[in-house]
């Protein structure tokens, strides 16, 4: 199967975004940087593409200009094992960004992320309908997801 690589269209912040993401995710690196030349439509010498890996997953950032903006129709989900993981990714990615409901956020570049504890997904998949409804109601009241609160909602009827 061919490799599928998300390409993120930035106005002119691809390099800054890649550097920021490298500071958030462990085991990450810049793979390649390409610059506009006189033959390209962009300003010669300016960064055109930054290929980077976030914990081994490849992404490309393209400085394509202001024609397109990010929206919530596409997001990247971060599966977190612990509350410390949730807290880390939430606090780092919301720096200069904005919090959304139910574990969603937009970072300072407008990219949408979902910071989701695996425990939430387990409770929603494995629980009976009443437990799942309590967990869902609890989730809808949150921005950053609190694992202890969703576990309590799962075990204690309202």
CATH number at residue 155: 3.10.180.10
152 shares a domain with 86: yes
Which residue range is the domain that position 120 belongs to? 70-158
- Collapsing DSSP to helix, strand or coil, 29 comes out as strand
Do 79 and 155 share a domain, yes or no? yes
Number of independent structural domains in the chain:
2
| pLDDT band (50, 70, 90) for residue 158 | low
Q: Domain boundary residue among 28, 51, 68?
A: 68
pTM over 0.95? The answer is no
114 shares its domain with 95:
yes
156 and 84 in a common domain: yes
Contact 35, 47 (CB under 8 A): yes
Which DSSP state fits 5? -
CA distance 108 to 122: 30
**In the predicted model, is pLDDT for residue 42 greater than 80?**
no
DSSP category for residue 102:
T
- The number of C-alpha atoms within 13 Å of 52 and in the hemisphere containing its C-beta is 24
Confidence of residue 45 (pLDDT cuts 50, 70, 90): confident
Give the strand pairing for 98-99 and 104-106: antiparallel
| CATH classification of the domain holding 56 | 3.30.720.100
């Amino acid at each position: 199967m061919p490799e599928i690589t998300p390409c993120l269209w930035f106005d002119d912040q691809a390099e800054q975004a890649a550097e920021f993401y490298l500071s958030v995710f462990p085991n990450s690196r810049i793979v390649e940087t390409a610059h506009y030349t006189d033959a390209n439509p962009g300003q010669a010498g300016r960064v055109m593409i930054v290929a980077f890996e976030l914990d081994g997953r490849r992404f490309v950032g393209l400085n394509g200009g202001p024609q397109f903006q990010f929206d919530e129709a596409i997001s990247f989900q971060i599966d977190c094992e612990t509350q410390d993981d949730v807290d880390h990714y939430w606090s780092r990615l919301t720096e200069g960004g904005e919090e959304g409901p139910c574990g969603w956020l937009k970072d300072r570049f407008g990219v949408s992320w979902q910071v989701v504890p695996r425990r939430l997904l387990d409770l929603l998949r494995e629980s009976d309908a009443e437990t799942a409804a309590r967990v869902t109601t609890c989730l809808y009241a949150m921005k950053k997801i609190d694992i202890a609160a969703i576990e309590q909602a799962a075990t204690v009827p309202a």
